[in-house]
Amino acid sequence: MAWLTSHNTTRICIEETSSQEDAYPQEQGNMGLLKSFLGLPEATDKVLHLAKIMAILGPLANFTFVLSTTFYVIFVAEALGGGSGMYLQGMGLVGTLVVVQMVVQTMLDYPTGAIGDWIGQRWIIASSCICFAVSFIMLSFVTTSTPFLYLVVVYLLAGIAASQQSGAFSAWFDNNYRVAMPGDSDRKQYGVFLGRTGMVMQIVATASLIPGSILAVLFSRPWVFQFQGVLALVLALISFRLVRDFPEVEAQRIERPDMGEYISILKGGVSFLFRYPFVRYIVMGGMLATSSIMVWGNLILFPMYYLYLITDVAVASFRTLLFLPGILAQERSGIWSRRFQPKKWIPRFRFMETCGFVFFWLFATIMYLFPPVAGESSNIISIYWPFTGIQLLTLPLENLLPIVLIFTIFVTTSFFGGFADVLTQRVLLDVIPNRIRNSMYSLYPTIATIFAIPQIALFGWLIMIIGFPLTLAGCGIVSLVGVIMIVHGFRHEPPEREEATWSDRGPALDQSTGATTRDEVEVESELLDTIEQLLDDKPPKD
């Protein structure tokens, strides 16, 4: 009897071992596919853990915040302008609200980034999502009779949220990637990973445009805002649970932070920027070029779209068509950028990118030669979703040629911005110390916003006098000045690296540090697997 028990036990152990051996190659194969897709063939388990979190949170955040972007500005403009279709009358007040939001974001962007370096990015990310949620829910109650001060509060909250979110995800990932992946000395794998995750985020953002507009038609725009508020709260909870630092990164905060540490980080980012001409001109030149994008997005983009395309779904459908090539551009940017030398090609790509000098001057030419025709034209093209009354596209026939030209320019220039972003990130990754990385990343949009505020005020006033074409040409000149600054920055020597990285052979994880322990990694991995299953559209195999 004892022999039988021993024999059965041995047989069971052999069967379990055989089963594990059969499963091991499949598990290794799946891991290899994941590494290949992410562009991280030499990734350690720690890096894959970071990558999986970014691959989940990034698309979820994109879906949450992109859902209403097609009609967000128009909704506010119509409420201020007096009703449906009166968005042009309300654009002046919308410009004021945007300036308010930018001022708040400028004031808080860098301090909140320094706080993220001080206490950890998870707190900042969760707080930003909560602020976004409150702003979305408040916006859903806006009508034509809503006091202007109420909208000021909405935009204040949005500015606070944006100031916290800017750079936080990137700083968290970069801090941990840099110490966990020292073998990626030239950061080419890092560049490929940025391209691949950017592609996934672009797919999600693109896939959110039309559903968001259809939901607005089927239910209402306020309903979509409320839905976004709920999603933002869910994102806050998931982010707070998953965004953790490895012990070595956590240890750089010098045990328990105090106010002196925060002040040191706050000063450190600004002094680092102005201490080295290489960093100063590349960062400030890039942000000057980026600032013209804010003018484009807040003053020109949506009024121009609605003048040409008229309806929510038509604008969202056109934006979806524009974003589809951007998906390929995001995915290829990390791979193809490895072929280019940053010093030579970053300025060239900035010159030719979407919302660069070439882009703005081509758009100015189109709007000058082919001004939009009013929706009352007798030659109207209307395309409907099959078996529904939802308009996919509605535009005057005279607007067809400029729309085709606009699409062509977007597609042609969409690759260059991705190349420039990846190359710039590769240059700065090992230049910026981990200790002030979040504050530096938050300093970027702060600088861009400082540059953008006077432009919005100036062009917002001039656009009614000189029109869209000359306004676009002016934005192009601003972008060109930024490119010239980048060229000047590369004429200086980069600063020496101030910190060393560590390999994967570190000490055991300690829960007393407040960082990620082994048990937490296992729990987080289970949570990630659960989220992935929920997001996976494939039905389970029988």
CA dist 161 and 127 (Å) reads: 7
Which position has the token pair 């004429």? Answer: 491
Residue 275 is predicted with a pLDDT of 84
Counting every residue written for the chain, the total comes to 542
Q: Within 10 Å of residue 100's Cβ, how many Cβ atoms? A: 18
Tokens representing 212 are 């968001």
Residue 38 is predicted with a pLDDT of 64
Nearby residues of 461 by Cβ (< 8 Å), 6 or more positions away: none
Nearest CA-CA partner of 301 in 328, 289, 321, 319: 319
CA dist 43 and 285 (Å) reads: 33
3 state SS for 271-284: HHHHHCHHHHHHHH
List residues bridging with 395 in a β-sheet: 381
pLDDT tens, position by position, for the chain (542 residues)? 334 334 444 443 434 444 444 444 444 555 666 666 666 666 677 777 777 787 788 888 888 998 898 889 889 989 998 888 787 778 778 888 988 998 888 888 767 777 777 777 888 889 999 999 999 999 999 999 999 999 999 999 999 998 887 777 777 877 777 777 766 655 667 766 766 777 777 777 777 878 888 888 888 999 999 999 999 999 999 989 888 877 777 776 555 455 565 566 667 777 788 888 888 899 899 899 888 888 888 878 888 888 888 777 778 878 888 877 766 666 666 667 677 888 888 899 899 988 899 999 999 999 999 988 765 666 777 777 777 776 666 778 888 899 899 999 988 887 788 788 878 877 887 787 776 776 677 677 778 888 988 888 788 777 777 888 998 999 999 999 999 999 999 998 888 765 543 333 343 333 333 344 444 445 445 545 554 454 444 443 44
Number of H helices, E strands in the chain: 19, 2
Residue 450 is predicted with a pLDDT of 86
The rounded Cα 530 to chain-centroid distance in angstroms is 24
What is the Rg, in whole angstroms, of the alpha carbon atoms belonging to the chain?
25
For the chain, domains (ranges, CATH) are 43-495 (1.20.1250.20)
Query: Which long-range contacts (C-beta less than 8 Å, at least 24 apart) are formed by 183-186?
Result: 183/42, 183/503, 184/42, 186/426
Nearest CA-CA partner of 435 in 207, 316, 267: 267
Is residue 199 within 8 Å of 37, Cβ to Cβ? Answer: no
Nearby residues of 489 by Cβ (< 8 Å), 6 or more positions away: 277, 278, 279, 280, 281, 282, 283, 285
CA dist 66 and 310 (Å) reads: 20
Nearest CA-CA partner of 426 in 500, 528, 362, 337: 337
